[in-house]
Amino acid sequence: MPITPEQRDEIDRLRAVTATTRRATVPALEEILYQPLEVLDHGFVRVIDYMGDDAAVVQAARVSYGKGTKKVSEDAGLIRYLMRHRHSTPFEMCEIKFHVKLPIFVARQWIRHRTANVNEYSARYSILDREFYVPAPEQLGAQAVVNRQGRGDVLEGEEAASVMRLLREESERAYGSYEEMLNQREDGTVIDPSRQGLARELARMNLSLNYYTQWYWKVDLHNLLHFLSLRADSHAQYEIRVYADAMLDMVKRWVPAVYESFTEYRMGGTHLSRTGLDVVKRLLAGEPVTQEASGLSKREWRELMDQLGRSDE
């Protein structure tokens, strides 16, 4: 199950409490505060706390740019200007804290973003749950031929069935061995009173990377957007992308003007190299340009043509 009964009780208690405050709050985000959004088979992501809103970005920017105007449309225009020209400091004035439950292999990919405060569930202190990630059949991709760190065609038939069977059987077997070494069951009861059991910090090394962990992840808006620009991208690994997609929806609730500018200039835009820009200028002038004459590598050329919607050229 994504959340335990104890976590559900805690969520219900927290959502039953309201408080008056002078700090900025965002009704759309308050609606889902503490609530888990389920991701993958046992995972979730939920907002625990946040600071600031669209106005906080504008307020910080006007320290540098002067008082200016205060109409909503002009505030949105300022945010678009900041995003377009990569003025990142005003976005650092907002922060958000997530509670995330995710497979360990996703967590190890995620933690490479070293711009957040993280506190992870301790398997030295507590027994891990018997929950492991098994991909849906449509996610069982073969190794891609071109992209060395990506997937190709989906496995089918007996090969796919064999992979699913191996994942489930080996994950269950690993957890059984984990309990045997601990001499404790998942609920903490002792298996054999005559044995001591291995320390939790050692027994955990038997578990595979598809087991679930949890953490609190607090990050400022600028670094969150950088994370999302990479992990919500169509080229990102599916298992981390679904978390990023869920968080992107939360950003839309939290800072809608920032979200609109982000999807316009980062997610929906593109960055051109000097040579790539020259190719675009030549194409606009009606000049036929080939990859060999462009000055771009085959990969850069292919990426540029994809961005221009001319992938057949």
Q: What is the pLDDT of residues 4-34, one digit of tens each?
A: 888 888 999 989 888 888 899 999 999 999 9
Catalytic one of 13, 86, 148, 231: 231
Q: Tell me if 24 is assigned to a ligand binding site.
A: no
Distance between CA atoms of 313 and 290, rounded to whole angstroms? 8
Is the distance from CB of 224 to CB of 247 less than 8 angstroms?
yes
Distance between CA atoms of 163 and 172, rounded to whole angstroms? 14
pLDDT of res. 265: 93
Q: Tell me if 226 is assigned to a ligand binding site.
A: yes
Q: Tell me if 87 is assigned to a ligand binding site.
A: no
Q: What phi and psi values does residue 214 have, to the nearest 5 degrees?
A: -140, 150
Q: Tell me if 88 is assigned to a ligand binding site.
A: no
Q: Tell me if 89 is assigned to a ligand binding site.
A: yes
Residue matched to tokens 């989906």: 154
Q: What is the pLDDT along the chain (313 residues), one digit of tens a residue?
A: 688 888 888 999 989 888 888 899 999 999 999 999 999 999 999 999 999 999 999 999 987 555 545 566 788 999 999 999 999 999 999 999 999 999 999 999 999 999 999 999 998 889 999 999 999 999 988 887 777 677 788 888 999 999 999 999 999 999 999 999 999 998 889 999 999 999 999 999 999 999 999 999 999 999 999 999 999 998 899 999 999 999 999 999 999 999 999 999 999 888 899 999 999 999 999 999 999 999 999 989 998 998 888 876 5
- Give the total residue count for the chain: 313
pLDDT of res. 92: 97
Distance between CA atoms of 245 and 124, rounded to whole angstroms? 31
Distance between CA atoms of 81 and 71, rounded to whole angstroms? 15
Enumerate residues 6+ apart whose C-beta is below 8 A from 37.
44, 45, 46, 246, 249, 250
Report helix, strand or coil for 45: strand
Active site residue 151: no
> Rounded to two decimals, what is the model's pTM?
0.90
Q: Tell me if 123 is assigned to a ligand binding site.
A: yes
